[in-house]
Amino acid sequence: MSGRPKVKEYMTREVQTVAPTDTVADVARRIKESEGHNGFPVAQSRKVEGFVTASDLLLVDDEAPIFTVMTEDIIVAHPEMDVIDAARVILRSGIQKLPVVDDADNLVGIISNTDVVRSQIERATPEKVGKLMRTLEQIHGISLRQEPRVVELDDLTPTQGRVYADELEGRQYELERGLAEPLVVIDNGGDLLLADGHHRVMAAHQLGIEEMDASVIVLDEPVELGMQRTAEKEGLSSLEDIEIADYGRHPLIETTHRLQE
């Protein structure tokens, strides 16, 4: 069995559609009033008959039915398709969304280029978690396990005292589009230490987000961790203790600029 992520794991299941008999004006209004939609599958009784985008509606009579302007020669994905294969189709075809149909050709979801990016971002977290778990096991000789959780941001103890304002902008962009990688948190006897994701947490805090997905490493018994001692020495107990450095850019960006010069 393939360990690659499948379309069914990342597709949106609640799909908004339009009917072939809807008018151009009806669909134009829906596109304008919706968030992030620039087109819709055209379906009748869950059978996909075409796809219509905002550009298809340009210079067309408002009362024209959608079936006269929709694209009928469409590409679809299957729920069991590898996400990477869906990504190739999206890249080569130049389209942004693929309707997903089952074996009976019923519409069961839709997968976008954003979903593809999210699937690749989330793959990075297990690698980080695995490396951190191995390090903790080797240093402390303890038993531990990993579990996915939704964590309250106010419950987290930061282990990094500074974040950069310019990088927060990028993290907010990711959060608003569902692209943020899960946090990495250590549960040390009930104390939740933020091991990775300080910029994501602060960006979420600025956006008023109160909880986030996290990969939590649970220690079977509490131990004294170096990162916890460092946090205590620096007076880090909550997100309010993290400094947002807006007087200088991230060192990586500064280095990139120097190389370009």
Instruction: Give the tens place of pLDDT for each residue, 71-122.
Output: 998 999 999 999 989 988 888 888 889 999 999 999 999 999 888 877 776 6
Examine the domain organization and report whether 59 and 154 are in the same domain: no
Q: What is the pLDDT of residue 165?
A: 86
Mean pLDDT of 35-57: 92
Flag whether pLDDT at 213 surpasses 60: yes
Flag whether pLDDT at 124 surpasses 80: no
Q: Which domain holds residue 194?
A: 124-260
Q: Which helix (H) or strand (E) holds 139?
A: helix 124-140
Flag whether pLDDT at 250 surpasses 60: no
Bridge partner list, 196? 184
Which domain-ending residue is among 87, 119, 151?
A: 119
CATH of residue 171's domain is 3.90.1530.10
Least confident of 59-63, 230-234, 249-253: 249-253
Amino acid at 84: I
Closest CA to 122 of 174, 195, 193: 174
Examine the domain organization and report whether 104 and 182 are in the same domain: no
User: What percentage of the chain reaches a pLDDT higher than 70?
Assistant: 92
Do 107 and 50 meet the contact criterion of CB atoms below 8 Å apart? no
How many structural domains does the chain have? 2
Q: What is the pLDDT of residue 164?
A: 87
Residue 244 lies in a domain: yes
Cα within 13 Å of Cα(207), Cβ side: 21
Examine the domain organization and report whether 24 and 84 are in the same domain: yes
Residue 137 lies in a domain: yes
Say how far apart CA 55 and CA 10 lie, in whole Å.
26
- Identify the band that residue 41 occupies on the pLDDT scale cut at 50, 70 and 90: very high
Which domain-ending residue is among 97, 119, 141?
A: 119
Say how far apart CA 126 and CA 119 lie, in whole Å.
12
Which domain-ending residue is among 119, 135, 164?
A: 119
Residue 1 lies in a domain: no
Longest distance between any two alpha carbons in the chain, whole Å: 72
Residue 225 lies in a domain: yes
Tokens representing 121?
Answer: 């971002």
CATH of residue 44's domain is 3.10.580.10
Q: What is the pLDDT of residue 247?
A: 55
Q: Whole-number mean pLDDT of the chain?
A: 88
Examine the domain organization and report whether 131 and 107 are in the same domain: no
Flag whether pLDDT at 235 surpasses 80: yes
